[in-house]
Amino acid sequence: MLRSGKIKRTALTLAESAEEQFRTTLAWIEENRAEGGCLGNIPEFANRIPENILRIAANLHVIEQREGTVIQRDILLSAIRLIIFFTEQHIALFGEIDVPLEEKYARAVLEYLRREFKKFEVRGTPWTGWIVTVRQIQQYVGNAEIRSKRDYVVDALYVLAHEGIVRLNFAPGEKVVSVQLLDSHFGTRPKDIPKPDHH
């Protein structure tokens, strides 16, 4: 077959239950491609997911030596699980490649500030006392990269200040020494950092 240069191609189709599952998966992909969705930062990869699911399902159908040309739902589900794994790996490696470092750092710092806020709540500290020092953040924030350099903490705090989450407290010489957690953010239900408008 190969010597003659002819390759036999077989058209595969989805069983009715597999077709229904595929439509459900397409709807989920579409929903999560939007800004804020788990695929929002990897649009090109997300666009290829449906085709890749079908390619993997077709390969699994052949590898498992299934009879006929109809791909069953269990095969499709196996393909979807593989794609989920590949997607998680892709996000871990490249998902936020276009997000500025200071925004990534800001998210990590905000998580730490939320933990500190919970301590203030437990103690009954009034909002005027919701103050956290830069030194404290650098020492305890859960990210070794940020802890390695004070400027990373300060850059992150400027992002949070711009978003109305904290107020910066300066020492003489324009040096940021601490932040005041703002009641307008922490006094209500905690929110993620709003995504910046990129126009």
pLDDT in tens, 21-67: 999 999 999 988 877 678 877 888 899 999 999 999 999 999 999 98
Q: Where in the chain is the domain with CATH 1.10.10?
A: 101-186
Q: What pLDDT does residue 173 have?
A: 79
Residue 188 has pLDDT above 70, yes or no: no
Mean pLDDT value across the chain = 84
φ, ψ for residue 175 (rounded to 5)? -95, 125
The pLDDT tens digits of the residues spanning 129-165 come to 899 999 999 999 977 888 899 999 999 999 999 999 9
User: What's the per-residue H, E or C state across the chain?
Assistant: CCCCCCCCCCCCEECHHHHHHHHHHHHHHHHHHCCCCCCCCCHHHHHHHHHHHHHHHHHHHHHCCCCCCEECHHHHHHHHHHHHHHHHHHHHHHCCCCCCHHHHHHHHHHHHHHHHHHHHHHHCCCHHHCEEEHHHHHHHCCCHHHHCCHHHHHHHHHHHHHCCCEEEEEECCCEEEEEEECHHHHCCCCCCCCCCCCC
Which residues does 132 contact at the CB level (< 8 Å), separation at least 6? 113, 116, 178, 179, 181
Contact yes or no for 98/181 (Cβ under 8 A): no
Write down the pTM of the prediction: 0.49
Q: What pLDDT does residue 4 have?
A: 53
CATH numeric code, 101-186 = 1.10.10
